[in-house]
Copies of this chain bind each other. A is one copy, B any other.
């Protein structure tokens, strides 16, 4: 159980990217900065309960669609990985064994880098993972999970987390967040307002959600004006519980001005039954503008994650639900899609509107020029599949020349895998250092500027973009 940071011929157990000297100098300047995690999907219940994680499979494999999608693509049935299986009848050791047998399938992927980093730095394992060492790994990890040092709050502290934002449905009671604060524990964990299901008439059970929104707020949500008030109430509630931001997942970016009278009619119709695709799109397009305007009013940062076609595998969706690895990016038109919204609020420098794309072609073609113009806009870091060494390199390559560094929003880990948080931030910091080292070697600026920018990228831009100024 000793660390072996030099790696060996079977792989690179430390999961770290090699850096040339100048990049390493920059990296050393930022490697130990506290971690700010302003967007992600960790479960607040972990920190409210502070219970031990059940077993290595439940911690590392079953909830991580990055991991199990690759195994599924290689012919492993999801149920063999315990997905859709009652936790009490799963065989976690067997699941870990299957994972280990396919470990080579992850060569070249960030999932492998993150997991190697986790094995090395969190669990202090120096042996390479193979089918033969799978049980050794399982036992080592399982034993550590049973210790107090591996409870969620202890990990939060050990990871140097300054702040962690979760993502919470608009109708959530935020009871876990309340419990965390009531406990007296000092870890700063804040909610994020995610209202997709009460804004998008095409979302499942939209009508039921609108009624529930009415019950929660005491507003008659069948009336458009009261529906807006109900949303304002929920935003205020989230803000009172610590939220600084909202988050919106939108497949096809579309915003449009729609008159109030038409909105009132569409709302009434949506409460009665499904709207046509065109009507649902119009309603949602106006509501996104409304959310942007509310952000201007209440100061909550607005995040838009655009262009992921969710759950494209119908059979898997029917059997296992969402987040089964079948969310696939599609091409996005940010320029026309956001035009109505930006022309309403984009000139306001007090607003912070952060965009995330899975269509990398939009970095240089649309997003960098837009972020380099609109005062409200900031460009989120490489997202999802592109949160990777090459993805980070492409991002800097195509974004910085047009948007500069100050129109970026720093880094998000965007993960539901708690243990991967340090690994992901470390990869970003190394990727940023590599980029900045390259800028120096090309003569674009000197080390002093590079160190300033490194600190911005590692922490300060996120603090600023997410209005976390009191950190």
Contacts and interface: CB of A to CB of B under 8 A. Distances in A.
23 contacts: A7-B446, A8-B446, A9-B448, A11-B445, A12-B444, A18-B442, A70-B372, A70-B404, A107-B405, A107-B445, A109-B404, A312-B342, A313-B373, A313-B374, A328-B366, A329-B335, A330-B333, A330-B335, A360-B361, A360-B364, A369-B385, A390-B397, A394-B398
A331 B253 CA distance: 15
A341 to B, nearest CB: 12
A304 to B, nearest CB: 16
A108 B335 contact: no
Q: How many copies does the complex hold?
A: 3
Contacts of A446: 7-12
Contact of A365 (B314, B360, B366, B443): B360
A43 interface: no
Given A364-B360, A404-B70, A315 B347 contact: yes
Contacts of A366: 328-330
Interface stretch (A72-80, A144-152, A167-175, A215-223): A72-80
A443 B12 contact: yes
A378 to B, nearest CB: 9
Given A328-B335, A349-B75, A446-B8, A365 B359 contact: yes
Given A390-B401, A405-B107, A74 B369 contact: no
A461 interface: no
Contacts of A74: 349, 375, 406-407
A108 B405 contact: yes
A201 interface: no
Contacts of A439: 108
A309 B369 CA distance: 11
Interface of A: 7-12, 16-18, 69-70, 72-75, 104-110, 113, 309, 312-316, 325-331, 333, 335-336, 339, 342-343, 346-347, 349, 358-361, 364-366, 368-375, 377, 385-386, 388-391, 394, 397-398, 400-407, 439, 441-449, 452-453
Nearest to A339: B312
A257 to B, nearest CB: 12
Nearest to A401: B388
A405 B105 CA distance: 7
Contacts of A315: 343, 347
Contacts of A16: 443
A302 to B, nearest CB: 17
Contacts of A388: 401-402
Given A109-B401, A113-B444, A389-B444, 18 more contacts: A7-B446, A9-B446, A9-B448, A17-B442, A73-B373, A75-B375, A107-B405, A108-B401, A108-B404, A108-B405, A108-B453, A313-B342, A315-B343, A316-B347, A328-B366, A329-B335, A330-B335, A360-B365
